[in-house]
Structure 1
Amino acid sequence: MAKNKVNVAQLQRRLLRRMIKDSRGRFIAITLIIMLGVMIFVGVKGIGPGYRDSAQSELNTSRLHDIEVVSTGGLTSRDVAAARKASGVTVQAQRSAFALAQSDESVVEVNAYANNRGLDRLMLRRGHLPREADQIVLDQRASEYGRFKLGDRYTFKKTSALKRRTYRIVGFVDSPRYINNTYDRGSANIGSGSVAYFAYLPSRNFSGSVYSRLAVRLNKRPAGDSFTSSYKDAVARKLTQVRRALRSRPEQRQTELVATASQPLQAERAKLDAAQEQLTAAQQQVAAASGGTVTTTPELTAQAKQLQAARAKLAAAQKQIAGKVNVQYTYNVRGDLQGFADFGASADRIAAIGDVFPVFFFLIAALITFTTISRMISEDRTQLGTMKALGFSRQQIARNYFIYALLAAVIGTILGVLGGLEGLTRFVLVISSQNIFTRQVVIPQWRDIALATGMGLIATIGAVFIVAPSELRVKPAELMLPKVPKNGQKILLERIRPLWRRLSFNAKVTLRNLFRFKSRMFMTVIGIAGGAGLILTGFGIRDSILGTAGAQFGPNGIGHYQAVVRLTTPGDDQSALHVLQDNDHYRTSTRVIYDISKVAANGHSVGNVSVIAPKQRTDFQKFVDLQRTSRGVQRELPQHGLLLSEKAAATLKVKRGDTIAVTNASGERRRIRVAGVVRNYVGHYAYMTAGTYAKTWGQTVANSLLVQTSHMSSQAQRRLSRRMLDKGGASNVTYTDASMDSMAGSMNAVVVILIVLSGLLSFVVLYNLTNINVSERMRELSTIKVLGFFDGEVTMYIVRENILLTLVGILCSFGVGDVLTRYILNQAASESVTFPFIIHWPGYVAAVVLTLAFTAIVMWITHRRLKSVDMLAALAARE
């Protein structure tokens, strides 16, 4: 008995090896499909966490602050001491100033450097950090503004903030304060108004002792990375403590500054006090000499009046000084740093794509795998019958199929996980990097790996569980015979006689075969539609994301202005217009009231809403296209109420006719009716007439210009901004192309990967389905070859069906791609960004051409296979 068991086990192992060897093409195809499915599922879903984990790792190493305190009056050691009263924090005072580069007048944020052991540590990329007083390190981004290299002399224009103007470049660095290398480094009140890059030099070169900011870091690190709600909640709680600790400092600092500014008046006040004493003494002498009847003389009266006038003048000067000093403390968190929020939003977008695209990808892969396994079992009916007749149990017969499916699933899963984590995720993190993080941290997402493994096992072993028992319930005699072919039936087209009579013989045979095996037809169409649809989805995501900027601020977009000029003195735009009209790029402009506000309704709020009220209502259409939305809204500004952008309305859960609370930059809160909802893609906007704005807040004077220009290079923009700030009476110039985040670079790499993998899946699916089709119909193909068909005609017998199914699948893929793209774009939208649905014609062409190319390659492989098959052997099987 034991020997028989050994023989059975050996026979089963031999049969398993033969099964894998004889169907190695199918085994490889199943393994590849599982591998692709797992790789894209694990890999794409790991990109978003990879972005955030890589960032968090380096931010922890550089000890980036969690909270930043800045003051319009500067900060002192008293502020440092007060901030340290908040429990569980590390506080570091930092000093910086704005200066202009001697070479091209670029605005540079110059920071004081003491050592690299505190907060906001620099990331050295080349050279070394400053060691001597005349050494400086530059932002790596500085290379965009000059050919700087190690050892060069670097000179600033004359500034009172620095004791020394010329330095030697000893290194290039990145700073955790600026994580995105495509952004400007903030705004300034000198030069062009935009900081080009930063620099660090020894703190002994700075004049004065006032600090620019306080960096505060929590000692006990919150759970999660910097983009999670748990981290933000922990920082918000600590921010409350820091605010409380510094609560009295604004008033104290204002008193200190007034006292400092009033010091030149102290000498004058002392002189006046001395003069008053002399005048009083003189008056007393006069009174004593006259026996008290005379207390003054005309000369003394004149002196008293002069003294009174001097005191009044001194009091006015004191009041003027106090009026000019207005100390305000501002508190920022990490998310307020330049580019930080956009980095998190990009990671969230990729994660959103990872929640949708790979799942659909895997469903197609699993469906094809399930079909392949089930068809393989059905093809082995004769072997199943033979083994059953020899006395093998159902479990013993099914065992090899379970092992076969398990091997394919395990090998495919292992390769997919390794390829996804160590290949796909890391590759995308490297090629899409526009940030300062050079170390890629990829932490396995075990939940996703387990889910992908489970799906792969269901697709393979599940097919065996379903198909094998149903086949093995049949008697051995029936199993040893091939399945009886389906009876031919008239199809619908045959009943349309005028059309059917005009079809050729081959066309009639092709159509009959297609409808004779409906399950095969539908499975092929689904596989082709899914693969081509995924390719189209990849192009759609890319086109939509890259087209967002054009949809917002393009020739056919919503905003038709290229810059916003904020006037120093509201209503005084003559100097600004004079500078603009002297610029060759200038076209036209319009006066508007422009404010950044906060809106709230239904327990929700949206910050940074740009409220725009044009002075010339009729010209506004040339600058902003108030497009309709699904909620229905007029294209003109309403007489009453405001128009709210679509994303803000969705966040607040309001519609036309609802009322919202709007708080302007001055903190004044008003309730306004929503007169309509307008389409918008980037940021939040609210539009109203100047009359409505005046009735709401009382302001009637335009404080900004919306400016239309021709295309300008970044250098031309900086030159215009510099002139506007110097001579144009402008306090700030903002360009619309700078308001778009840099999501395209990171997303484009992901989308290219998706397109390539979708194409590969499409090819494997086509190959596998065609292979199944040929295997199932080998006797039929052998018969027509014996009847005299040439090799090419035998191949075309199959190819005609595949071509027709491919064309139908491609047509269906257009709908699949459109629906899937819209869904993914909706999921990928962030708090302030929505994406337009755009698929350019090259996307459709690429999906069609790639699918047809894959079909042609598969047909060529099939032709080679059919030429080498022994048709007579195939016909030798018993009926």
Structure 2
Amino acid sequence: MNKLLLRDIKNSAGRFIAILLIIMLGVLLFVGVKATGPSLNDTLQLEVNKQKLSDIRVISDKGFTSKDVSAAQKVQGSQIELSKFKYVIGGKNKDAVALYGLNSDLKQNQFKLTSGRLPKNDGEILLDQRAKQKEEYQLGDRFTFAKSADLKDDQYKIVGFVDSPIYIDDSSRGSANLGSGNVQYFAYVSDDSINIPVNNLMNIRFESLQQEQLFSDKYKTKLNSKLGKIKLALNKRKNARANEIASTGLSQIADAQAKLNEAQSQLAKTKAQTSKINGSNREANEKLEQQADELNQKQSQLESQKSSILKRAEPNYIWQERSDLPGFTGYGESSKRISAIANVFPAFFFLLAALITFTTVMRMVEESRGQIGTLKALGFSKMAIGYEYTSYAFWAGILGAIIGAGLGNQLLPRFVISMYKNYVLGPPVISYDWSSIIIAIVLSMVVTVGAALFVVLKETRDSPSALMRPKAPKNAKKILLERIPFIWKRLKFNQKISYRNLFRFKTRGLMTILGIAGGTALILTGFGISNSISATANLQFKKVINYDLVLQSKTVQSLDSVRKTIESDKNYQSSTIVHTSTASVRQNGKKVNDITMYVPNSNNGLTGFITLKDYQNGEAMRLKSDGVIITQKMAKILNLKQGQSIEISVDGKHPTNFKVSGIAKNYVGNFIYMPRALYQQKIADNPKMQTLLVKIKNSSDADNNLAKNWMKKNSNILGISFVNDQSAIVDDMTKQLGPVVMIFILLSGLLSFIVLYNLNNINISERLRELSTIKVLGFLNPEVTMYVARESIILAALGIILGFGLGNLLTDYVIRQAETDTVVFPLTIEPIGYIVATVLMILFNLIVVYLTHRRLKKVDMVEALKSNE
């Protein structure tokens, strides 16, 4: 039986390799894409763990003392480090720089020295590797800071270039209220060089959290618990810290209060004496009352001064988690997106591969009826006969599964990680995803061994004599077209044969249609994923957002002067004033945080700057005084509909109920648009109208130079952020998924070709006697080829059309899975996707037709027409 097995594999090597390749491709994509998301996370996790990245960073405007450290250390497992930090202006182009202090106690956030050495004295600086790449700084160059940086020296010698785990994305360094609003570099100088009296940056790390997956819900839950305790500890220290800072001023007020108390006591004595001597002397009493009023006014002033001093002295904290660091959220969402795609696309791919494999194995066993009958006649048991065919299927399936699992698990994640060139990553960390591998192998065995066993058990029920005779052909039946004489009479003979055969071999025809439809759908889905993500940026930043930049003034009072400054610029077009706040919304037991809220000056204030259209019917909307407009993703998360009410908490204040007057189309971020009158009625009387949405004439000029010029002209400009920068972040998502999408398309195309070739081989094997008969009757080789090819062309056309619909459904499902809480992907497939999918299917069909033609020319007609009887 083993010899027979080897002979069968040798004699049908093409079929054996086809089964192996189909299984291999299915497993490769299934296992490979499943492993890619976790591998991305593991690679980053190993890097940040090596460099001891902080879990929490806290920046205080008043600095931290040893008492603050002691309070934070009471949270179990916390490792606390203090250093100095500030945003400053520096470099050739007067850029915003994130400047960190170096001291010997620092163990967290360890940078990697890419060239040079560590500083040995106060006059030396470590500079961001990005500065070397973008501005061509070299070791030994002088890096100059602006006077406003308030450093010990203005110039520092560059002695080394570094990468930092705080900045994993080379394309972004975060934002600051300096320069253009975008930080260009980070740098390290000694703590002594930074003129800050106390350390103002607290890094907090928890060793117990380092074993948790970086972007997992478990890590977030545990971190939030620790963060809440740290916040509570430091907030309890606020009053004590304020008293420490305000001690001098409070001491002076205490002295003044003592004098005032003495004066009030003296006045009380004078009143008593005057009353005894003068009785109810009106003039004397009025004078004493006047003195009392003056003392009361002084008392009020002292209390006001005390309150003001304490308020100014109270520290403000800026809290940062890892997810707040530049690039972290983008990286996490990218790996999450790939993992979401891995749950759908490869599964469909594998399902298609399994379906074709199942059909191929079943046909293989059915073709061997004569051999099965012979073996049975010779006395071989059903088990022995089953062994031969299940072993054939087993070796084809297991080899394909093992090769596919090995290549998929190791090559695909490495290839994708190598495409993340913007990120500072170490060597790829690829672990075997055993659960996916086992699932893939089990499914592979089901569709190969299972199919073989199913058919063998079915066939061996017949007697040896019945098995050694070919199956009787099915009775001929009229097809639908034959019942329409008007059409049937006008068809040529060859066309009639083709249409009859299409209905005669229904299972094979259905398999061919499904194979082509599946391949077309997979290719189309590959393009659809890329197009849909690309469309997000285009729709959000060209159709919804119509302004070019957001400008914020330092105060409401300074907004007029800021507006005059930008209006004098020749590139200025128009602007509108809005109030902006950060809000959170709670409804139906769910909550959405970090929502941007816009309150325009009037209900028409956003017209021309933000397009508000109903997310269902696309009709234009405007603000109404009785409710707010929210965006579609938020409404979906909270399961909200127009007319319902929501609880909005603005800037951490007590939540207030608002009616939802509309749900607007939006693709990136979550927004609330609130009329000013409603804000004044329910939140605060005077919204801080100190933000401008600005349009410029030439949006290509919306770069750092424009911002720098405006900020030089007017110091009241707090910060500027450009829409182009936000659009670039979304575009990066497309670039990161690009390699994965290309792999989908290439493997889908390859699978489609193998499927077509395999089905065509089955077609010819089934009809060898029929094809030999028409050759004997005088049909030329091209005519015999077209006899088969005509059917393939019709089936391919039907498959391609069905594939278009299936591709749209699959793309829609995949992008829904890939969405995050802040991003909506509109279903978009560009015409090029349909063209490429169609052309590839046509090309594969032509190649298969050519191979069929070559095979049919070599058919031995005499051998094929021999009767088994």
The TM-score, its normalising length taken from structure 2, stands at: 0.90
In the other structure, the counterpart of 2:466 is 478
In the other structure, the counterpart of 1:196 is 184
In the other structure, the counterpart of 1:74 is 63
Mapped partners of 1:361, 1:714: distance in 2: 46
1:782-793 superposed matches below 5 A: 782-793=772-783
In the other structure, the counterpart of 1:111 is 100
- Alignment partner of 1:154: what SS? strand
Mapped partners of 2:629, 2:131: distance in 1: 42
Mapped partners of 1:250, 1:463: distance in 2: 72
- 1:408/1:115 Cα in 2 relative to 1: closer, same or farther (>3 Å)? farther
In the other structure, the counterpart of 2:122 is 133
1:35-434 superposed matches below 5 A: 35-115=24-104, 118-143=107-132, 145-183=134-172, 185-221=173-209, 223-259=211-247, 321-322=309-310, 324-434=312-422
Deviation, structure 1 residue 154:
2.1
Mapped partners of 1:715, 1:126: distance in 2: 34
What residue identity is the alignment partner of 1:702? M
Mapped partners of 2:510, 2:705: distance in 1: 60
1:583-662 superposed matches below 5 A: 583-618=569-604, 620-630=606-616, 635-662=621-648
Mapped partners of 1:656, 1:312: distance in 2: 51
What residue identity is the alignment partner of 1:478? A
In the other structure, the counterpart of 1:802 is 792
Q: Is residue 836 of structure 2 the alignment partner of residue 846 of structure 1?
A: yes
What residue identity is the alignment partner of 1:674? V
1:413-472: CA deviation from partner (whole Å, max 9, x where unpaired) = 111111111111111111134321132111111111111111111110110121111111
1:553-581: CA deviation from partner (whole Å, max 9, x where unpaired) = 11xx2221222222322265333333333
Mapped partners of 1:480, 1:128: distance in 2: 83
Mapped partners of 1:80, 1:587: distance in 2: 51
Cα RMSD of the aligned pairs, angstroms, is: 2.9
In the other structure, the counterpart of 1:737 is 724
- 1:144/1:571 Cα in 2 relative to 1: closer, same or farther (>3 Å)? farther
Q: Would the aligned equivalents of 2:81 and 2:105 in 1 still touch at CA under 8 Å?
A: no
- 1:688/1:566 Cα in 2 relative to 1: closer, same or farther (>3 Å)? same
1:483-522: CA deviation from partner (whole Å, max 9, x where unpaired) = 2222332211122222222222222111111111111111
- Alignment partner of 1:73: what SS? coil
- Alignment partner of 1:488: what SS? coil
In the other structure, the counterpart of 1:296 is none
What residue identity is the alignment partner of 2:789? V
Mapped partners of 1:194, 1:626: distance in 2: 28
In the other structure, the counterpart of 2:739 is 749
| Counterpart among 674, 682, 694 of residue 707 in structure 1 | 694
Greater shift in the superposed pair: 833-842 or 424-433: 424-433
In the other structure, the counterpart of 1:297 is none
Equivalent residue pairs, number? 833
Where does structure 2 lack aligned partners over 5 or more consecutive residues?
A: 267-294
What residue identity is the alignment partner of 1:783? T
In the other structure, the counterpart of 2:438 is 450
Q: Would the aligned equivalents of 1:591 and 1:614 in 2 still touch at CA under 8 Å?
A: yes
- 1:711/1:355 Cα in 2 relative to 1: closer, same or farther (>3 Å)? farther
In the other structure, the counterpart of 1:566 is 552
- 1:420/1:627 Cα in 2 relative to 1: closer, same or farther (>3 Å)? same
- 1:308/1:661 Cα in 2 relative to 1: closer, same or farther (>3 Å)? closer
1:789-813: CA deviation from partner (whole Å, max 9, x where unpaired) = 2222221111111111111110001
Q: Is residue 7 of structure 2 the alignment partner of residue 21 of structure 1?
A: no
Q: Is residue 500 of structure 2 the alignment partner of residue 512 of structure 1?
A: yes
Deviation, structure 1 residue 92:
0.6
What residue identity is the alignment partner of 1:361? F
Q: Is residue 655 of structure 2 the alignment partner of residue 669 of structure 1?
A: yes
In the other structure, the counterpart of 2:755 is 765
- 1:788/1:170 Cα in 2 relative to 1: closer, same or farther (>3 Å)? farther
Mapped partners of 2:793, 2:621: distance in 1: 48
Q: Would the aligned equivalents of 1:633 and 1:677 in 2 still touch at CA under 8 Å?
A: no
- Alignment partner of 2:442: what SS? helix
Q: Would the aligned equivalents of 2:97 and 2:185 in 1 still touch at CA under 8 Å?
A: yes
- Alignment partner of 2:63: what SS? strand
Q: Would the aligned equivalents of 1:70 and 1:213 in 2 still touch at CA under 8 Å?
A: yes
What residue identity is the alignment partner of 2:146? K
Q: Would the aligned equivalents of 2:132 and 2:161 in 1 still touch at CA under 8 Å?
A: no
Greater shift in the superposed pair: 791-800 or 358-367: 791-800
Mapped partners of 1:710, 1:855: distance in 2: 52
Deviation, structure 1 residue 855:
1.2
Mapped partners of 1:789, 1:250: distance in 2: 97
- Alignment partner of 1:210: what SS? coil
Sequence identity of aligned pairs in percent?
Answer: 40
What residue identity is the alignment partner of 2:162? V
Deviation, structure 1 residue 839:
0.6
What residue identity is the alignment partner of 2:62? G
Mapped partners of 2:106, 2:405: distance in 1: 39
What residue identity is the alignment partner of 1:559? I
1:731-777: CA deviation from partner (whole Å, max 9, x where unpaired) = 22222233344322221221111111111111111111111111111
Q: Would the aligned equivalents of 1:192 and 1:722 in 2 still touch at CA under 8 Å?
A: no
What residue identity is the alignment partner of 1:202? S
- Alignment partner of 1:150: what SS? coil
1:171-203: CA deviation from partner (whole Å, max 9, x where unpaired) = 3222111222222x2232332222111011233
Where does structure 1 lack aligned partners over 5 or more consecutive residues?
A: 1-11, 281-306
1:20-48: CA deviation from partner (whole Å, max 9, x where unpaired) = 11111111110011011111000001111
- Alignment partner of 2:147: what SS? coil
- Alignment partner of 2:422: what SS? coil
In the other structure, the counterpart of 1:723 is 710
Mapped partners of 2:153, 2:678: distance in 1: 53
Deviation, structure 1 residue 531:
0.7
Q: Would the aligned equivalents of 1:223 and 1:230 in 2 still touch at CA under 8 Å?
A: no
Q: Would the aligned equivalents of 2:113 and 2:161 in 1 still touch at CA under 8 Å?
A: yes
Greater shift in the superposed pair: 55-64 or 589-598: 589-598
Mapped partners of 1:607, 1:726: distance in 2: 36
What residue identity is the alignment partner of 1:483? K
- Alignment partner of 2:863: what SS? helix
Deviation, structure 1 residue 403:
0.8
- Alignment partner of 1:706: what SS? strand
Mapped partners of 1:706, 1:728: distance in 2: 18
- Alignment partner of 1:225: what SS? coil
Deviation, structure 1 residue 221:
3.2
The TM-score, its normalising length taken from structure 1, stands at: 0.89
| Counterpart among 749, 753, 774 of residue 764 in structure 2 | 774
Q: Would the aligned equivalents of 1:368 and 1:765 in 2 still touch at CA under 8 Å?
A: yes
Deviation, structure 1 residue 123:
2.5
